[in-house]
Amino acid sequence: MPQSRWTAADLPDLHGRSAIVTGANSGIGRAAAKALAGAGATVTLAVRDTGKGHAAAEAMTGDVVVRQLDLADLASVRSFAKDTPGPVDILVDNAGVMATPERRTADGFELQIGTNHLGHFALTNLLLPRITDRVVVVSSGLHRSGKIDLDDLNWERRSYKPWKAYSQSKLANLLFVLELQRRLNQAGSNVRAVAAHPGYAATNLQGGTSSPISNLLGVVGNLLIAQSDTMGALPTLYAATEDLPGGIYIGPSGFQHMRGYPGVDVPARQALDEETARLLWDLSERLTGVTWPAAVG
């Protein structure tokens, strides 16, 4: 279990290991990728804008590769997975958008569930036969207010609510990672699926919501309350590298799990609902056309 005050300085030597981090040009993903590369891993920055990816890579030391991945476009996800040389030791499903204006992905999904959950669901299952160690999925404390609407996951019949769509997508992240671990267990795989969340960290996430007032509050909150992106990345790094049981959920251990060093957190009750997780998995397979792979690592 986490020692107190675990930091990136406690990362093991990662030479010879490879990691893919989605959304690695900004915020938590950038800080995590930088630390993994600094510890010796070969790190792929999986980013939708390779210009931003190269700018981020320039501030990193070590073996860093930039590749294009748009999680809001399944063709891009498929192409990224197809061109990924294996094996991949660690996949970090980190990229995300929050409380955006109502928008659709290239495949017609609501943008937040499409990017945060369905894109990562497809990517993970496509890469799974090549993953050797673990999948880390980055959720959020806001999953606690989440509800999954299996009849209208994509907000086609409901009136769109940006924050509810975000919390639904972050609850989907946890239901997905826990169902993934159950499937890996059933398949007799040694690959682990673990979850993390950064608490509240100052990143670009808070500036892209549908409401100018929320964006302004985000700026003020980032200045006054939030911890740094480097601190926010510690739960991800801990989940990615320490010897932990599959299905664990790591977040900051300080005030209200919003800040501090990594510790074990407990998912909300609705994230532990195995029936919903199974149904969400089936629905995600139907929507993405990507299924549980025949062979896993």
Residues lying near ligand NAP in the complex (CB under 6 A) are found at 22-23, 25-29, 47-49, 52, 69-72, 94-98, 115, 138, 140, 197-198, 200-201, 203-205, 232
Instruction: Report in angstroms how near the CB of residue 295 gets to ligand NAP at its nearest.
Output: 27
Nearest residue (CB) to ligand NAP, 132 versus 228: 228
Instruction: Report in angstroms how near the CB of residue 104 gets to ligand NAP at its nearest.
Output: 12
Nearest residue (CB) to ligand NAP, 91 versus 296: 91
Give the DSSP letter of residue 74.
H
Nearest residue (CB) to ligand NAP, 169 versus 276: 169
Instruction: Report in angstroms how near the CB of residue 287 gets to ligand NAP at its nearest.
Output: 16
Q: Where are the alpha helices (DSSP H) in 39-136?
A: 50-58, 74-82, 111-112, 120-127
Contacts of 157 (CB under 8 A, 6+ apart): 151
Contacts of 294 (CB under 8 A, 6+ apart): none
Are the C-beta atoms of residues 88 and 130 closer than 8 Å to each other?
Answer: yes
Q: Where are the beta strands (DSSP E) in the chain?
A: 18-22, 42-47, 63-68, 88-93, 131-138, 192-196, 249-252, 262-264
Reference 180, options 128, 215, 133, 227; nearest CA is 128
Q: Which residue is nearest to ligand NAP (CB)?
A: 27
Instruction: Report in angstroms how near the CB of residue 50 gets to ligand NAP at its nearest.
Output: 10
Measured CA to CA, the distance from residue 81 to residue 289 in angstroms comes to 14
Instruction: Report in angstroms how near the CB of residue 78 gets to ligand NAP at its nearest.
Output: 14
Angle at 191 between CA 76 and CA 44, to 5 degrees: 40
Nearest residue (CB) to ligand NAP, 48 versus 297: 48
Q: How many CB atoms lie within 10 A of CB 107?
A: 18
Are the C-beta atoms of residues 154 and 108 closer than 8 Å to each other?
Answer: yes
Nearest residue (CB) to ligand NAP, 17 versus 259: 259
Reference 248, options 259, 268, 272, 264; nearest CA is 264
Residues taking part in catalysis: 166
